[in-house]
Amino acid sequence: KAGVTQTPRYLIKTRGQQVTLSCSPISGHRSVSWYQQTPGQGLQFLFEYFSETQRNKGNFPGRFSGRQFSNSRSEMNVSTLELGDSALYLCASSLSQGDEQYFGPGTRLTVT
């Protein structure tokens, strides 16, 4: 069974732009969670989607948003990029809410 895939793997954007990251969960998994990893703040929870609905949200500004499609694939969007948004963005999928999460390889976003 294929693992969690994330595209693109690397991205360079300019401050003020917006970006969309994509995550395809493991087949059969219906829950997708997003995390931001930075050297300073470590791993922080962004949000979780289950059955196309946002079920949980971390402490991030409204510039961070996401959605989930009927096939469980998920996208996250960051608008008006700031230098501090440079990070590794990790997506994780699970069968359902509360189940163990399996991570993708991440998208490395650099904002210049």
Partner 1 sequence: AQTVTQSQPEMSVQEAETVTLSCTYDTSESNYYLFWYKQPPSRQMILVIRQEAYKQQNATENRFSVNFQKAAKSFSLKISDSQLGDTAMYFCAFMGSARQLTFGSGTQLTVLP
| Binding positions for partner 1, rule: CB under 8 A | 33, 35, 42-43, 45, 48, 55-56, 58, 88, 90, 92, 97-98, 100-103, 105-106, 108
End-to-end Cα separation, the chain, in angstroms: 37
* 87, amino acid identity: A
- Shortest reach from residue 108's CB to partner 1, in Å: 8
| Cβ proximity to partner 1, 14 vs 42, nearer residue | 42
Residue pair 32/74 in contact by the 8 Å Cβ criterion = yes
Comparison of 15 and 55: residue with beta carbon closer to partner 1: 55
Nearer Cβ to partner 1 (12/43)? 43
Beta bridge partners of 87: 109
- Report in angstroms the alpha-carbon separations of 63 from 6, 28, 78, 85, 99: 20, 30, 5, 10, 28
Buried b (16+ CB within 10 A) or exposed e, 51-64: eeeeeeeeebeeeb
Q: How far is the CB of 16 from partner 1 (least distance, A)?
A: 27
- Least separation in angstroms between residue 5's CB and partner 1 is 12
Q: Nearer Cβ to partner 1, position 8 or 16?
A: 8
